[in-house]
Amino acid sequence: MRLHFCIEFSFAMYAKYDLNCVIKFLFYIVSTPSTTPFRRTYMDIRALRYFSETVRLNSFSRAADALHVTQSTVSKMVRQLEDEIATPLILRTGRKLELTDTGRIVYEQAQQILAGVQRLHSELNNTRALRQGHLDIGIPPMVNILCTPVLKAFRERHPDITLTLHEDTGPQIEQRVAAGTLEIGMTVLPADPALELALTPVASYPIWAVAQRGRFQKQRTTLACKALADMPLLLLNNEFGLTRSLRKMFREVGIAPEIAAQSGQWDWLVGMALAGMGVALLPQPFIGRLASDQLQAVRLVDPEVPWQVAYIMRPGYLSHAARAWLALSEELFAGGAHHENND
Protein backbone atom coordinates (compact mmCIF):
# COMPACT_ATOMS: atom_id res chain seq x y z
CA MET A 1 0.00 0.00 0.00
CA ARG A 2 1.34 3.40 -0.96
CA LEU A 3 0.63 6.08 1.62
CA HIS A 4 1.56 9.71 1.61
CA PHE A 5 1.84 11.96 4.64
CA CYS A 6 1.63 15.67 4.06
CA ILE A 7 1.43 18.71 6.31
CA GLU A 8 -2.21 19.20 5.35
CA PHE A 9 -3.29 15.80 6.77
CA SER A 10 -5.89 15.63 9.51
CA PHE A 11 -3.66 14.26 12.25
CA ALA A 12 -6.56 13.45 14.56
CA MET A 13 -7.54 10.44 12.49
CA TYR A 14 -4.22 8.81 13.36
CA ALA A 15 -4.43 9.51 17.07
CA LYS A 16 -5.29 5.91 17.86
CA TYR A 17 -1.92 4.83 16.53
CA ASP A 18 0.04 7.64 18.22
CA LEU A 19 1.32 8.77 14.84
CA ASN A 20 0.17 12.36 14.95
CA CYS A 21 3.02 13.72 17.04
CA VAL A 22 5.53 11.66 15.07
CA ILE A 23 4.33 12.92 11.72
CA LYS A 24 4.16 16.52 12.93
CA PHE A 25 7.71 16.22 14.19
CA LEU A 26 8.99 14.77 10.94
CA PHE A 27 7.60 17.66 8.99
CA TYR A 28 8.92 20.12 11.52
CA ILE A 29 12.47 18.90 11.11
CA VAL A 30 12.47 19.37 7.35
CA SER A 31 15.32 21.81 6.95
CA THR A 32 14.11 24.86 5.12
CA PRO A 33 15.26 28.38 5.93
CA SER A 34 13.12 30.02 8.57
CA THR A 35 12.40 32.89 6.23
CA THR A 36 11.16 30.54 3.52
CA PRO A 37 7.52 29.40 3.59
CA PHE A 38 7.22 25.76 4.64
CA ARG A 39 7.02 23.83 1.39
CA ARG A 40 4.46 21.11 0.83
CA THR A 41 6.22 17.79 1.55
CA TYR A 42 5.04 14.29 0.79
CA MET A 43 6.81 11.47 2.55
CA ASP A 44 6.44 8.06 0.94
CA ILE A 45 6.07 5.16 3.38
CA ARG A 46 7.99 2.96 0.97
CA ALA A 47 10.89 5.43 0.92
CA LEU A 48 10.95 5.42 4.72
CA ARG A 49 11.00 1.62 4.73
CA TYR A 50 13.86 1.46 2.20
CA PHE A 51 15.82 4.07 4.12
CA SER A 52 15.19 2.27 7.42
CA GLU A 53 16.36 -1.10 6.04
CA THR A 54 19.48 0.49 4.56
CA VAL A 55 20.41 1.97 7.92
CA ARG A 56 19.54 -1.19 9.84
CA LEU A 57 21.68 -3.39 7.57
CA ASN A 58 24.31 -0.69 6.95
CA SER A 59 24.27 -1.58 3.27
CA PHE A 60 22.32 -0.68 0.15
CA SER A 61 22.90 -4.12 -1.36
CA ARG A 62 21.80 -6.04 1.75
CA ALA A 63 18.75 -3.80 2.05
CA ALA A 64 17.90 -4.56 -1.60
CA ASP A 65 18.16 -8.29 -0.91
CA ALA A 66 15.95 -8.03 2.17
CA LEU A 67 13.36 -5.98 0.28
CA HIS A 68 13.56 -8.13 -2.87
CA VAL A 69 14.31 -5.17 -5.14
CA THR A 70 17.36 -3.95 -6.99
CA GLN A 71 20.07 -1.92 -5.30
CA SER A 72 19.42 0.96 -7.70
CA THR A 73 15.80 1.05 -6.55
CA VAL A 74 16.87 1.36 -2.93
CA SER A 75 19.38 4.09 -3.74
CA LYS A 76 16.78 5.96 -5.77
CA MET A 77 14.21 5.87 -2.96
CA VAL A 78 16.73 7.07 -0.38
CA ARG A 79 17.80 9.93 -2.67
CA GLN A 80 14.15 10.81 -3.20
CA LEU A 81 13.68 11.02 0.57
CA GLU A 82 16.74 13.24 0.90
CA ASP A 83 15.48 15.49 -1.91
CA GLU A 84 12.09 15.88 -0.27
CA ILE A 85 13.64 16.77 3.08
CA ALA A 86 16.26 18.87 1.29
CA THR A 87 19.15 17.63 3.39
CA PRO A 88 21.46 14.57 3.36
CA LEU A 89 20.44 11.68 5.57
CA ILE A 90 23.29 9.26 4.88
CA LEU A 91 27.00 10.02 4.40
CA ARG A 92 28.48 7.53 1.96
CA THR A 93 32.10 7.18 3.05
CA GLY A 94 33.53 4.21 1.21
CA ARG A 95 31.81 1.00 2.30
CA LYS A 96 30.60 2.50 5.54
CA LEU A 97 27.32 4.40 5.84
CA GLU A 98 27.00 7.12 8.45
CA LEU A 99 23.86 8.96 9.46
CA THR A 100 23.75 12.73 9.58
CA ASP A 101 22.10 14.39 12.56
CA THR A 102 18.93 14.75 10.50
CA GLY A 103 19.28 11.16 9.34
CA ARG A 104 19.36 9.89 12.93
CA ILE A 105 16.14 11.71 13.77
CA VAL A 106 14.39 10.51 10.63
CA TYR A 107 15.54 6.92 11.29
CA GLU A 108 14.35 6.94 14.90
CA GLN A 109 10.96 8.40 14.04
CA ALA A 110 10.58 6.21 10.95
CA GLN A 111 10.64 3.15 13.22
CA GLN A 112 7.58 4.42 15.03
CA ILE A 113 5.79 5.35 11.80
CA LEU A 114 6.47 1.96 10.21
CA ALA A 115 5.41 0.16 13.38
CA GLY A 116 2.23 2.26 13.40
CA VAL A 117 1.48 1.37 9.80
CA GLN A 118 1.94 -2.30 10.68
CA ARG A 119 -0.48 -1.94 13.58
CA LEU A 120 -2.92 -0.20 11.24
CA HIS A 121 -2.74 -3.12 8.79
CA SER A 122 -3.17 -5.59 11.62
CA GLU A 123 -6.19 -3.85 13.14
CA LEU A 124 -7.85 -3.42 9.74
CA ASN A 125 -7.39 -7.10 9.02
CA ASN A 126 -8.72 -8.04 12.45
CA THR A 127 -11.75 -5.80 11.92
CA ARG A 128 -12.52 -7.30 8.53
CA ALA A 129 -12.14 -10.79 9.97
CA LEU A 130 -14.36 -9.86 12.96
CA ARG A 131 -11.52 -10.53 15.39
CA GLN A 132 -12.05 -7.10 16.92
CA GLY A 133 -14.61 -4.35 16.88
CA HIS A 134 -17.44 -2.76 18.82
CA LEU A 135 -21.15 -2.55 18.16
CA ASP A 136 -23.82 -0.47 19.89
CA ILE A 137 -27.38 -1.70 19.36
CA GLY A 138 -30.59 -0.12 20.61
CA ILE A 139 -33.44 -2.49 21.51
CA PRO A 140 -36.86 -1.56 22.95
CA PRO A 141 -37.94 -3.55 26.02
CA MET A 142 -40.89 -5.09 24.15
CA VAL A 143 -38.57 -6.39 21.42
CA ASN A 144 -35.71 -7.75 23.50
CA ILE A 145 -37.30 -11.19 23.90
CA LEU A 146 -36.89 -11.68 20.14
CA CYS A 147 -33.16 -10.96 20.27
CA THR A 148 -31.98 -13.62 22.70
CA PRO A 149 -31.26 -16.25 19.99
CA VAL A 150 -29.39 -13.66 17.90
CA LEU A 151 -27.39 -12.46 20.89
CA LYS A 152 -26.43 -16.01 21.88
CA ALA A 153 -25.36 -16.96 18.34
CA PHE A 154 -23.45 -13.70 17.83
CA ARG A 155 -21.49 -14.23 21.05
CA GLU A 156 -20.61 -17.75 19.98
CA ARG A 157 -19.55 -16.82 16.44
CA HIS A 158 -17.83 -13.51 17.17
CA PRO A 159 -16.53 -13.63 20.76
CA ASP A 160 -13.96 -10.86 20.12
CA ILE A 161 -16.57 -8.24 19.19
CA THR A 162 -17.56 -5.97 22.08
CA LEU A 163 -21.34 -5.72 22.07
CA THR A 164 -23.26 -3.07 24.00
CA LEU A 165 -27.05 -3.27 24.20
CA HIS A 166 -29.03 -0.10 24.94
CA GLU A 167 -32.66 -0.43 26.06
CA ASP A 168 -34.98 2.46 25.31
CA THR A 169 -38.34 3.17 23.72
CA GLY A 170 -38.62 2.76 19.96
CA PRO A 171 -38.90 6.51 19.25
CA GLN A 172 -35.86 7.23 21.43
CA ILE A 173 -33.83 4.56 19.66
CA GLU A 174 -34.85 6.04 16.31
CA GLN A 175 -33.60 9.44 17.46
CA ARG A 176 -30.31 8.00 18.71
CA VAL A 177 -29.68 6.09 15.50
CA ALA A 178 -30.43 9.21 13.46
CA ALA A 179 -28.00 11.18 15.65
CA GLY A 180 -25.29 8.55 15.20
CA THR A 181 -24.93 7.57 18.85
CA LEU A 182 -26.21 4.09 17.98
CA GLU A 183 -25.13 2.35 14.78
CA ILE A 184 -28.22 0.16 14.48
CA GLY A 185 -31.40 -0.28 16.46
CA MET A 186 -34.72 -2.06 16.49
CA THR A 187 -38.12 -0.44 16.49
CA VAL A 188 -41.76 -1.24 15.92
CA LEU A 189 -43.10 0.21 12.70
CA PRO A 190 -44.08 2.76 11.68
CA ALA A 191 -40.86 4.66 12.31
CA ASP A 192 -40.65 8.44 12.17
CA PRO A 193 -40.37 9.26 8.42
CA ALA A 194 -38.80 12.64 9.16
CA LEU A 195 -35.63 10.92 10.38
CA GLU A 196 -35.06 9.33 6.94
CA LEU A 197 -33.71 6.10 8.39
CA ALA A 198 -33.05 2.94 6.39
CA LEU A 199 -35.41 0.13 7.44
CA THR A 200 -34.92 -3.64 7.36
CA PRO A 201 -38.11 -5.44 8.49
CA VAL A 202 -37.36 -8.70 10.31
CA ALA A 203 -40.66 -10.02 11.64
CA SER A 204 -44.38 -9.41 11.76
CA TYR A 205 -46.79 -10.82 14.35
CA PRO A 206 -50.56 -10.58 14.87
CA ILE A 207 -52.10 -8.88 17.90
CA TRP A 208 -54.10 -10.85 20.45
CA ALA A 209 -56.73 -9.82 22.95
CA VAL A 210 -56.08 -11.27 26.41
CA ALA A 211 -58.74 -11.33 29.12
CA GLN A 212 -59.99 -13.20 32.16
CA ARG A 213 -61.42 -16.56 31.13
CA GLY A 214 -65.12 -16.19 30.37
CA ARG A 215 -64.81 -12.78 28.71
CA PHE A 216 -64.92 -14.37 25.24
CA GLN A 217 -67.05 -17.25 23.99
CA LYS A 218 -65.46 -20.57 24.92
CA GLN A 219 -64.58 -21.76 21.42
CA ARG A 220 -63.73 -18.35 19.99
CA THR A 221 -60.23 -18.01 18.45
CA THR A 222 -60.59 -14.65 16.69
CA LEU A 223 -62.20 -11.31 17.47
CA ALA A 224 -63.21 -8.55 15.05
CA CYS A 225 -61.61 -5.25 15.96
CA LYS A 226 -64.99 -3.48 16.05
CA ALA A 227 -65.97 -5.69 18.99
CA LEU A 228 -63.36 -3.86 21.09
CA ALA A 229 -65.65 -0.83 21.19
CA ASP A 230 -67.68 -2.47 23.96
CA MET A 231 -64.72 -3.58 26.08
CA PRO A 232 -62.45 -1.77 28.58
CA LEU A 233 -58.97 -1.92 27.07
CA LEU A 234 -55.56 -2.28 28.67
CA LEU A 235 -52.88 -0.75 26.45
CA LEU A 236 -49.18 -0.10 26.53
CA ASN A 237 -48.17 3.54 26.94
CA ASN A 238 -48.55 5.85 23.97
CA GLU A 239 -44.83 5.88 23.10
CA PHE A 240 -44.99 2.21 22.12
CA GLY A 241 -45.31 1.47 18.42
CA LEU A 242 -48.02 -1.09 19.12
CA THR A 243 -50.25 1.51 20.76
CA ARG A 244 -49.72 3.92 17.86
CA SER A 245 -50.78 1.17 15.45
CA LEU A 246 -53.84 0.31 17.54
CA ARG A 247 -54.97 3.92 17.78
CA LYS A 248 -54.64 4.21 14.01
CA MET A 249 -56.81 1.12 13.64
CA PHE A 250 -59.41 2.56 16.03
CA ARG A 251 -59.70 5.64 13.81
CA GLU A 252 -59.92 3.58 10.63
CA VAL A 253 -62.73 1.30 11.87
CA GLY A 254 -64.53 4.22 13.52
CA ILE A 255 -64.57 3.23 17.18
CA ALA A 256 -63.90 5.29 20.29
CA PRO A 257 -62.09 2.88 22.60
CA GLU A 258 -62.61 2.81 26.35
CA ILE A 259 -59.06 2.84 27.77
CA ALA A 260 -59.19 1.38 31.28
CA ALA A 261 -55.45 1.63 31.93
CA GLN A 262 -52.05 1.99 30.25
CA SER A 263 -48.62 0.76 31.36
CA GLY A 264 -45.09 0.39 30.09
CA GLN A 265 -44.96 -3.22 31.37
CA TRP A 266 -46.69 -5.93 29.38
CA ASP A 267 -46.82 -8.31 32.34
CA TRP A 268 -48.68 -5.72 34.41
CA LEU A 269 -51.28 -5.46 31.65
CA VAL A 270 -51.66 -9.24 31.86
CA GLY A 271 -52.05 -8.98 35.63
CA MET A 272 -54.79 -6.40 35.24
CA ALA A 273 -56.51 -8.59 32.64
CA LEU A 274 -56.30 -11.56 35.04
CA ALA A 275 -57.93 -9.38 37.71
CA GLY A 276 -60.88 -8.72 35.41
CA MET A 277 -60.07 -5.05 34.78
CA GLY A 278 -60.28 -5.32 31.00
CA VAL A 279 -58.80 -6.71 27.79
CA ALA A 280 -55.06 -6.44 27.20
CA LEU A 281 -53.85 -6.14 23.60
CA LEU A 282 -50.46 -7.78 23.06
CA PRO A 283 -48.31 -9.17 20.23
CA GLN A 284 -48.21 -12.91 19.63
CA PRO A 285 -44.69 -13.51 21.11
CA PHE A 286 -46.07 -12.65 24.55
CA ILE A 287 -49.08 -14.94 24.35
CA GLY A 288 -46.91 -18.02 24.80
CA ARG A 289 -45.66 -16.54 28.06
CA LEU A 290 -49.06 -16.41 29.71
CA ALA A 291 -48.71 -18.56 32.78
CA SER A 292 -52.31 -18.75 34.00
CA ASP A 293 -55.08 -21.06 32.79
CA GLN A 294 -57.47 -18.37 33.99
CA LEU A 295 -56.64 -16.25 30.94
CA GLN A 296 -58.09 -16.52 27.46
CA ALA A 297 -56.52 -15.11 24.28
CA VAL A 298 -58.08 -14.52 20.84
CA ARG A 299 -56.48 -13.09 17.71
CA LEU A 300 -57.63 -9.71 16.38
CA VAL A 301 -58.97 -9.74 12.81
CA ASP A 302 -60.99 -7.53 10.47
CA PRO A 303 -58.61 -5.82 10.12
CA GLU A 304 -55.48 -7.60 11.33
CA VAL A 305 -53.11 -5.21 13.07
CA PRO A 306 -49.52 -6.39 12.55
CA TRP A 307 -46.81 -5.84 15.12
CA GLN A 308 -43.93 -5.20 12.71
CA VAL A 309 -40.37 -5.24 14.00
CA ALA A 310 -37.57 -3.72 11.94
CA TYR A 311 -33.92 -2.79 12.17
CA ILE A 312 -33.14 0.87 11.63
CA MET A 313 -29.88 2.48 10.58
CA ARG A 314 -28.61 5.58 8.86
CA PRO A 315 -28.18 5.20 5.09
CA GLY A 316 -24.58 4.59 4.07
CA TYR A 317 -21.69 2.66 5.55
CA LEU A 318 -22.15 -0.02 8.21
CA SER A 319 -19.30 -1.51 10.21
CA HIS A 320 -18.27 -5.12 9.68
CA ALA A 321 -19.68 -5.95 13.12
CA ALA A 322 -23.07 -4.39 12.28
CA ARG A 323 -23.24 -6.25 8.99
CA ALA A 324 -22.43 -9.51 10.77
CA TRP A 325 -25.23 -8.90 13.30
CA LEU A 326 -27.77 -8.13 10.57
CA ALA A 327 -26.76 -11.18 8.54
CA LEU A 328 -27.16 -13.39 11.60
CA SER A 329 -30.54 -11.82 12.39
CA GLU A 330 -31.72 -12.48 8.85
CA GLU A 331 -30.62 -16.08 9.20
CA LEU A 332 -32.33 -16.64 12.56
CA PHE A 333 -35.46 -14.69 11.65
CA ALA A 334 -35.76 -16.89 8.53
CA GLY A 335 -34.90 -14.05 6.18
CA GLY A 336 -37.45 -11.69 7.70
CA ALA A 337 -40.32 -14.13 7.14
CA HIS A 338 -43.81 -13.31 8.38
CA HIS A 339 -44.39 -15.02 11.74
CA GLU A 340 -48.03 -15.67 12.35
CA ASN A 341 -50.21 -18.24 14.04
CA ASN A 342 -53.48 -18.81 12.24
CA ASP A 343 -55.07 -21.00 14.88
Write the pLDDT tens digit of every residue in 256-270.
999 999 998 999 999
Residues of the chain with CATH 1.10.10.10: 4-128
Residue 232 pLDDT exceeds 80: yes
Task: Name which of 18-22, 61-65, 126-130, 296-300 the model is least confident about.
Answer: 18-22
Residue 18 pLDDT exceeds 80: no
Candidate CATH numbers 3.40.980.10, 3.20.20.70, 3.30.1490.190, 1.10.10.10; the one for domain 4-128: 1.10.10.10
Give pLDDT, residue 159.
Answer: 87
Stretch 275-287: mean pLDDT, rounded?
94
Structure confidence by residue, pLDDT tens digits, 156-204 = 888 888 889 999 989 999 999 999 999 999 999 989 999 999 999 999 9
Residues of the chain with CATH 3.40.190.290: 207-305
Model pTM score: 0.62
Residues of the chain with CATH 3.40.190.10: 134-203+311-332
**SS3 string of the chain?**
CCCEECCCCCHHHHHHHCCHHHHHHHHHCCCCCCCCCCCCCCEEHHHHHHHHHHHHHCCHHHHHHHHCCCHHHHHHHHHHHHHHHCCCCEEEECCEEEECHHHHHHHHHHHHHHHHHHHHHHHHHHHHCCCCCEEEEEECCCCHHHHHHHHHHHHHHCCCCEEEEEECCHHHHHHHHHHCCCCEEEEECCCCHHHCCEEEEEEEECEEEEEECCCCCCCCCEEEHHHHHHCEEEEECCCCHHHHHHHHHHHHHCCCCEEEEEECCHHHHHHHHHCCCCEEEEEHHHHCCCCCCCEEEEEEECCCCCEEEEEEECCCCCCHHHHHHHHHHHHHCCCCCCCCCCC
More confident residue, 110 or 30: 110
CATH topology of domain 207-305: D-Maltodextrin-Binding Protein; domain 2 (3.40.190)
pLDDT band at 51 (very low <50, low <70, confident <90, very high): confident
- Classify domain 134-203+311-332 at the CATH class level: alpha beta
Residue 53 pLDDT exceeds 70: yes
Give pLDDT, residue 43.
Answer: 63
